[in-house]
Amino acid sequence: MQVKIEKKSILDVSADVIIVNLFEGVKTPAGVTGIVNKAYKNLISEYVIKKEKFEGKYGEIYQLPLPISGKKLFIAGLGKQKEFTPVKIRDLTAKIVRICNKAGNIKKAVSILHGAGIAGLCPQLCAQMITEGAISGTYAFNKYKSDKNENSLKEFVIAEIDNEKYKKAKIGVETGIITANALNSARDLINESSQYLYPETLAQYAVENSGVKTTVYNKAQIKKMGMNAFLAVGQGSIHEPKFIHMEYKPEKKAKRKIAIIGKGITFDAGGLDLKPPTSMLTMRDDMSGAAAVICTMRAISELKPDVEVHAIVAACENMPSGSAYKPGDVIIAKTGRSIEIDNTDAEGRVTLADALAYAEELKPDEIIDIATLTGACMVALGTVSSGIMGNNDKKIKDFIKTAEIAGERFWQLPMYEEYGDTLKSDIADTKNTGGRMGGASSAGVFLSKFITKNTPWIHLDIAGTAFLDTANSEGIKGATGIGVRSLIKYITE
C-alpha cells in the first residue's frame, strides 16, 4: 500500500473511491465535503442526508455509486465533533481501507484530510493517523496460507489544497509511513512460528533490519558478562541464548540517552513448571517486547532524532528438559543479587533482571522495559489497556500522555513495597515469584530491585495487549505490535 499526499483539490485526483466525511447531525456539508456536495449537485445533502437519513454516527460509512463514472463516493461518519480524536481517524481509515479491499476492484482511493477542517486538529497528526490506518489497518499474517488474499487497494492519496496544511500533513504522512511499517514488521516477527523464530534467528533479524549498529553476544560471552540469571532461563532449550544490543547515535550531540529493553522469550512453555495447553498456545508471542524494540530502532534509524538510543534484548527459549533450570535453584544475577527460583514460568523477570543491569551500566538518562510479563496484568486490565509501573512518577505520566496521542493505552498500577513481601526467600535475596495476588505489581517490585543506580525507569506490561483472539478497534487480530507507536513517539519528541 502506497500512501501519499497531493496538493490538489480532491475533485482533481482521479481515483476509484472519493472519501469525504460528516460530523453527526450536520445537514449542510461544509469544507471539502461541501465542495464535493456542490460538484455532485447536492447529492450528499439532498439524497444521503435528507432521503437516506445518514446521520454521521462515528464509524458509519455511506457508500454511494456516482453517476456515469463508475466511481464511488464514501461518506464517513465522524460522530460528535466534541468527542472526535486523532485515533478515531486512524481506526476509521482502517475500516474504509478494509471495505475497499473487500469490494475487490478498488485500486486507488483519494481522501479528505479528516480532522484538519472544522474539527481544527493538527494537520500533521491527522495525516499521520490516516497513513497509519491505511497501512497498518489492513495488516494480515498470511505468509503460511496458500491463498494470500492480496489487497486490491494499492494507492491511497490524501488531497489537501491549502499550502500550510499540506506542508504539515506531508511530514505526518512521512512519519506515518515509517511508524506503520515498523508496526507491521513487529507484527510479522511476533506472528512468526517459533519453529523458525528462535534466539539466533531473532538476532539475525535485528542485525539485518534494525537499521543501526547491532552486536550479538553468544552463550560464552553472556557468561563472561555475568548474566547468569538470563542464562539459567535459556538452559533447557536446544537453542542457544543470544544477547542483542542495538545502538543509535545521532550526528548532532544527543539531547538525552534512552535505553529500551524488550522481553525476548521466543517461546514460553513455562519450563519445568509447564504451562497447560490453552495457556501455552500463543506463547510464541512472548518476544513481543523484543519485536517492539527492534522495530522501534528501525524507525529511529529513519526518523533520526537527536537522542542516543540503546535497545537491548536477552533472547532465549523457556523449555522443560533435562538441562532446564529447576524450582528451588538459586542463581546469582549480574548485580550480585541471588534469586531463588520459585516458579520456572516466571522467567521473563529473571531475564530482565540481567538486561536491566546491563542497561544501567550504559548510564542512560532513563530505561524503559516492555514485556509480556504477567497473566495478572491481563486479568487486571484485559486486552484494552497495558500496564505501566516504574520508579519515576513524572516519566510514567509523560509516557501515558504520549502513548495516548500515539493511540495506545497504558494504565498505571501501584508498586508499593508491600507487593514485594511475598518475594522473601529463606535461602536467597529474593524469590522470583510469590503467588497470584497482585502479580503484576509484585513482578514490578521484583524488577525494581535490579535497578541499583537509581536510574529513572519505566516498566510496561503488555501481556494482555500483545496478542488478540478477536479483532480490536483497528481490525487487528493476533500480534498487535503494541508499544511500537508509543516508543517511537516518546523517543522522537
Verify binding: residue 226, ligand BES, rule CB under 6 A: no
Determine the interface stretch with Mn ion among 195-203, 260-268, 389-397, 450-458 (rule: CB under 5 A): 260-268
Closest contact distance (angstroms) between CB of 378 and ligand BES is 5
Q: Which does 463 bind (CB under 5 to 8 A by kind): Zn ion, ligand BES, Mn ion, none?
A: ligand BES
Rounded to whole angstroms, the Cα distance separating 376 from 236 reads: 25
* DSSP letters spanning 124-162: HHHHHHHHHHHHHTT----TT-SS----S--EEEEE---
Residue 456 to residue 399: CA distance in whole angstroms? 12
Q: Give me the catalytic one of 57, 108, 275, 477.
A: 275
- Which of Zn ion, Mn ion, ligand BES, none does residue 209 bind to, with CB < 5 to 8 Å depending on kind? none
| φ and ψ of 80, to 5 deg | -70, 135
Q: How many residues bind to ligand BES according to rule CB under 6 A?
A: 16
Residues 6+ apart with CB under 8 A from 386: 377, 408, 409, 410, 411, 460, 461, 462, 464, 465, 482, 483
Q: Residue 110 belongs to what H/E stretch?
A: strand 108-111
Contact between 378 and ligand BES by CB under 6 A: the answer reads yes
Q: Give the amino acid at 343.
A: N
Only segment of 175-183, 240-248, 346-354, 380-388 that touches ligand BES (CB under 6 A): 346-354
284 given a catalytic annotation: no
The residue within the footprint of ligand BES, chosen from 124, 374, 402, 430 (CB under 6 A), is 374
Q: Does 317 bind Mn ion (CB under 5 A)?
A: no
Q: Does 375 bind ligand BES (CB under 6 A)?
A: yes
Alpha carbon distances (Å) from 121 to 10, 20, 89, 95, 129:
19, 16, 11, 21, 11
Q: How far is the CB of 53 from ligand BES (least distance, A)?
A: 44
- DSSP-H helix ranges across 17-122: 31-39, 86-103
**Residue 349 is a catalytic residue:** yes
340 part of the interface to ligand BES, by CB under 6 A = no
Question: Is position 268 an interface residue for ligand BES (rule: CB under 6 A)?
Answer: yes
- Which one, 16 or 268, has the nearer CB to Mn ion? 268
| Crossing angle (nearest 10°) for helices 484-492 and 393-406 | 110
Q: Can residue 461 be called a binding residue for Zn ion (CB under 5 A)?
A: no
Q: Report how far apart, in Å, the C-alpha atoms of 477 and of each of 82, 141, 190, 467 are.
A: 30, 9, 12, 7
H helices within 116-253, ranges in order?
123-136, 163-191, 199-209, 219-224, 228-234
Using an 8 Å Cβ cutoff, are 13 and 159 in contact?
yes
Site string for ligand BES, 444-463 (x = CB under 6 A): -------------------x
Determine contact, residues 312/293, Cβ cutoff 8 Å.
yes
Q: How far is the CB of 318 from Mn ion (least distance, A)?
A: 6
Q: Does 475 bind ligand BES (CB under 6 A)?
A: no
Q: Which of residues 239-278 bind Zn ion (CB under 5 A)?
A: 265, 268
Q: Are 111 and 90 in contact (CB under 8 A)?
A: no
Q: Which of 16, 91, 132, 286 binds Zn ion (CB under 5 A)?
A: 286
- Show contacts with ligand BES in window 275-294 (CB under 6 A): 286
- x/- site string to ligand BES, residues 151 to 180, per CB under 6 A? ------------------------------
| Cα–Cα distance, 397 to 388 (Å, whole number) | 10
Tell me how far, at minimum, the Cβ of 343 lies from Zn ion, in Å: 11
* Stretch binding Zn ion (CB under 5 A), from 63-71, 190-198, 346-354, 386-394: 346-354
| Residue 461 interacts with, from ligand BES, Mn ion, Zn ion, none (CB under 5-8 Å by kind) | none
Q: Could you say which of Mn ion, Zn ion, ligand BES, none residue 388 binds, taking C-beta under 5 to 8 angstroms by partner kind?
A: none
Q: Which of 285, 345, 366, 369 binds Mn ion (CB under 5 A)?
A: 345
Which span (28-36, 240-248, 266-274, 332-340) binds Mn ion, by CB under 5 A?
266-274
Q: 478: how many CB neighbours lie within 10 A of its CB?
A: 18
Q: Which long-range contacts (CB under 8 A, 24 or more apart) does 48-54 make?
A: 48/75, 49/22, 54/22
Exactly one of 101, 386, 433, 448 binds ligand BES (CB under 6 A); which one? 433
Q: Reduced to 3 states, what is the DSSP secondary structure of residue 382?
A: coil
Angle at 196 between CA 195 and CA 201, to 5 degrees: 135
Find the catalytic residue in 72, 88, 165, 349.
349
| 348 contributes a contact to ligand BES by CB under 6 A | yes
Q: Which is nearer to Zn ion, 132 or 461 (CB)?
A: 461
3-state SS assignment for residue 102: helix
Pick one of 174, 188, 192, 268: the residue that binds Mn ion (CB under 5 A).
268
* CA angle in degrees (0–180, nearest 5) for 44-48-53: 140
User: Which is nearer to Mn ion, 268 or 342 (by Cβ)?
Assistant: 268
Task: Summarize as ranges the residues that interact with Mn ion (CB under 5 A).
Answer: 268, 345, 347
Task: Summarize as ranges the residues that interact with ligand BES (CB under 6 A).
Answer: 268, 286, 343, 345-348, 372-376, 378, 433, 439, 463
Task: Summarize as ranges the residues that interact with Zn ion (CB under 5 A).
Answer: 265, 268, 286, 348
Residues taking part in catalysis: 275, 349
